[in-house]
Amino acid sequence: MIFPTDGDFALSRKVREPSKMADLVRFQNRQYSLDERGERKMNKKLNTRYVAVTGMLSAIGFILMYVEFSVPFMPPFIKMDLSELPALIGAFAYGPGCGILVCLLKNLLHMPVTTTACVGELANFILGAIFVGVAGFLYQRKKTKKTAVFAAITGALLMGVASIPVNYYLTYPFYYNFMPKEAILGAYQLIVPSMKSILQCLVCFNFPFTAFKGLISVAVSLLVYKHLSPILKGKSK
């Protein structure tokens, strides 16, 4: 009878060790494949929710464009609405890109019923994109309530500042085709007779009005966002 020697055992171990290594590599590859499929599935779910939430917020913003009303101490052709509110909530939930996309889509939806040859929608998009873009960008850097307040107020004030050149160079020149410049100036002078120019009116009236409009959206969003965030992101409270 021939008994195995120590050399035979050593050779057997050398044969088994590569086999164990191969099994380990196969296991790691299988685990990586499972993780990769799980990540792809999660990303697909997040993308689907992003599209659904963006569409829903855009529709709400479009509807809110019809819920407008006059405010005291402003000419009758200037209306208040809260159509930027859904875009601001989207910017907080999914970043500035979502908020800007909501602003774009709600205005695209409104274009078929436009009364301003899409000039009003373009101006609305520019101002809304500045508002929610700035707010969303600053909030994404540090997601705290204090940052949210600062970011949203900053966005509202910048929207107010931007309303001056946007109205002066874009919106009002279009209105001049239907209403004389003197008539528009006269509407402001009925409120404050000392107004001397359209630019002065935009600085004294439209800037604070637009900023105040944004601040109302800020106040409402801060009240409701905490309750809506789990729903928008698909998380349970």
Question: What local confidence, expressed as pLDDT, does residue 55 receive?
Answer: 94
Q: Is the pLDDT of residue 14 over 90?
A: no
pLDDT tens, residue by residue, 150-193: 999 999 999 999 999 999 999 999 999 988 999 999 999 999 99
CA distance 129 to 120: 14
pLDDT tens across 110-149, in order?
A: 999 998 889 999 999 999 999 999 999 999 999 999 999 9
pLDDT at 178: 87
Comparing 48-52, 54-58, 99-103, 168-172, which segment has the lowest mean pLDDT? Answer: 48-52
Percent of residues, the chain, with pLDDT higher than 70: 79
Mean pLDDT of 85-94: 95
Question: In whole angstroms, what is the distance from residue 147 CA to residue 151 CA?
Answer: 6
d(CA 156, CA 163): 11
Could you give the percent of the chain with pLDDT greater than 90?
66
Fold classification of 42-233 (topology level): Arp2/3 complex 21 kDa subunit ARPC3 (1.10.1760)
Question: Is pLDDT of 44 > 70?
Answer: no
Q: What is the 3-state secondary structure (H, E, C) of the chain?
A: CCCCCHHHHHHHHHHHHHHHHHHHHHHHHHHHHHHHHHHHHHHHHHHHHHHHHHHHHHHHHHHHCCCCEECCCCCCCCEECCCCHHHHHHHHHHCHHHHHHHHHHHHHHHHHHCCCCCHHHHHHHHHHHHHHHHHHHHHHHCCCHHHHHHHHHHHHHHHHHHHHHHHHHHHHHHHCCCCCHHHHHHHHHCCCCCCCCHHHHHHHHHHHHHHHHHHHHHHHHHHHHHHHHHHHHCCCC
The model's pTM? 0.81
Provide the pLDDT confidence category of residue 203 given band limits of 50, 70 and 90: very high
**CB neighbours (10 Å) of residue 67?**
11
Label residue 36 by pLDDT band (50, 70, 90). low
**pLDDT, mean over the chain:** 86
Nearest residue to 124 (alpha-carbon basis) of 12, 49, 115: 115
Question: Burial of 94 by CB count in 10 Å (0-12 exposed, 13-18 middle, 19+ buried)?
Answer: buried
Cα 150 to Cα 6: distance, rounded to the nearest angstrom: 76
